[in-house]
Chains A and B, each alone.
Chain A
Amino acid sequence: MKVTRTARIATATLLVAGLTSAALTGCSGATPGTTGSSTLTLWTDALRAPALKSVSAQFKKDTGVTIKLVIKDFATVDKDFISQVPTGKGPDIIVSPHDKLGAYVQNGVVAPIQLGDSASKYAKVAIQAVTYNGNVYGLPYSIENIAMVRNTALAPTAAKTFDDVIASGKAAVASGTAKYPFLLGLDPKQGDPYHLYPLQTSFGSSVFAQKSDGSYDGSKLTLGDPAGVKFATALKTWGAEGILNPNITADIAATSFAKGESPYFISGPWNIGAIKKAGVKYAIDPLPTAGPDAAKPFLGVNAFFLSAKSKNKVAATKFLVNYLGTDAVQEKLYEVGDRAPALTSAFNTIAATNSDVQAFGKVGLNGVPMPSIPQMASVWADWGSAELALIKGEGDPATVWNAAVVNVQAKIKG
């Protein structure tokens, strides 16, 4: 009895299985094969995607190649790119800041592109930033850097040196018009080497030595030179005077400046919108110097990179060089991201009508590209925590600074 029942159920099951799979095969047979039609996958962030819509449509019209815009999380996109490209499932093109380039090259996930004569149409520093070991890897589209934002109501004239900033800021606080002499976003748990770098470079200190072609030499860490220690000493003084305050986070700094609580704020174009909205009258000045040298901010260059495993290299290169490297696209990317275009002609068009872009651009002329060498990853944590310790008044500047340098060197060695 039992056996028969089991057998019957089994037969019924097989019947259902057979019928369904027949149906399934029928369906899959009916769908036409989609191989052959080429599609370029482009990883971008949510902010930039809209600016790429119309150029993608144009490209499709001209070449028949579809551009698939995939929105990825900006914070992890580089790691996903590195782990997915080798599987052959990665994108053809990725939008990324240039300082990840070293890691991309180290992992063999990006391919060089040849800009040919059009390379000269971009800001020199932008090309420099996307160049690694002599090869150009990216098509740059924007440059960003910080500058000194000044509340013109509280400080009518630009300050040249950081001492002037401190003096004028303190005067504003003393007169009761301001709450803080100067603002710079820090963090109670980590310093901010990026925002402090102009002050550091004005002492003649830098992270890595630069070669003659402007690229960084990962074997020459210059952080610990005497100029670096001078900067460290200054940090401690500023911390003690309350000029730098680790409790003022980027959030608090931006909010306070927008409320008119301080005459000076070292920040980037990303905060200008809120300042404008708040109705604060501001000017964008060159970065003040604290030492004998020029104050050089880090430049961040955003670029499109080509995957080493792209199966659509011809289409991707065409799209990069001939479609993304145009005034229209670069201006559109400016509109959504507020970062100055890397294409010189587009920059000029925008700068002609937008004094903020012009001012930031001018400050950027002094800047140096953020190092993209893989060794840089070993630097940030110790660099930042040494800065924080000094601002908080902990330890002797030379000792703290040199300890951090020793750590970094050990990490670079691996």
Chain B
Amino acid sequence: MTSAENLQAFRRDGRIVVVGASLAGLRAAETLREEGFTGSLTMIGDELGEPYDRPPLSKQVLTGWVPAGNTKLPRRREIDAEWLLGVPADGLDLAANHVHLADGREVPFDRVLISTGVRARPWFVESEAALDGVFVVRTREHAEGLQRALAAGPSRVLVIGAGFTGSEIASICRERDIPVTVAELAPAPLVGALGAMIGEVAADLQRAHGVDLRCGVKVTQLEGDAQGRLRRAHFEDGTTIDADVAVVALGGIRNTDWLRSSGLAAGVWGIACDTGCRALDLNGLVTDDIFVAGDVARCPNPIYEYRLISLEHWANAVEQAGVAAHNMVSAQADRWPHLTIPLFWSIQFGVNIKSVGVPTFADEVVVTQGSVPDHRFVAAYGYRGRVTAAVSFNNAKWLDHYRRLIETAAPFPPPCPAPDQPADMKPVPVDFPGPVLLAQGATVVVTGHDPSERRVTAVRQHR
């Protein structure tokens, strides 16, 4: 049988399993059907209930405007799938081609898509995390719980971590007129994603809206009362603050633990894949039947020196899922590369923040349009003399232009003036906090000498 006939047969009655039934998983399933896949489709998800949208969870749901239950993702088409919900996958056997579920079931496949995403990084002391009033926000249930706590009118909310989620939650608190303290280890909010200059703007924005913003501080302990309710938080310098709600917004952990023995190149950074979304194995070899999409994927981007980049962006999940699904049911010659320019947005303190490109891939930043004091501007990021990213505050309609500058490796700083260019336009160093995460221990070792013998072996991390 030729491979064309094989593909025909697979498209007709093959078995595809999607592990991770959220945005990326659902959109991939829809694309598979759209592309004419008529075989069996199984959706595995650890959460009960239909796939829902997460961006509103730190925004409209927390204001109480949209009930958490009303965030179900719109369906683009019927997918005719078997749904295995409420049980996580806990293993992938590449020799037998099946997914192992936590309840012992085994689900066989011909091809599998991994879109298990990210979970919230919990507070590091389990007993303190369990206190009444301590929240993370990732799932619908989390958002619902926090919404109720905010509606009860807490005396003060402590937000730990001033990334996008933490800042959005602080914004909601102010909107609801709840006193809020934001504690951030870095020198300013958003600084890890957008650098020092924008971080300073974000800090001004928070303070102007009445946030008690404390940067360069570390929360060391959450203290409860006899009933197990949160009462106060302790800082590293010995000071304390009374709060009855704490939101732990310290980013996410990629859901790759279940792949520990799978032989795939999976770890804390995600699952490495090629631009066709095919997973790499431990040796860095491309697999044929394992695909990855969404927050958990770590994909090379040719525009950024082919570096492996993982993105926790809504638009990336949708686009990558589409490419992965297309490639799962296409012959090699018809496959697409996932080559989009990252796009991200946030709404906080009445400002629409939007970015295009990879701002961390930059050495300089310059305000090209608008006015920083008015919180209406566009800033372009450059790396060695070319544009690599842009961020807008309440000025998003220009970003398509900057996307084109990134795609065409246009010179940085952009040479020509626009009508709304600030008078004192001058590039400044972008200044990101040090790459602390790079200091983590090795995850693999290489063995063997002869080219036919050389192999990579995973090393369990010691905590």
Do the two chains belong together in a single complex? no
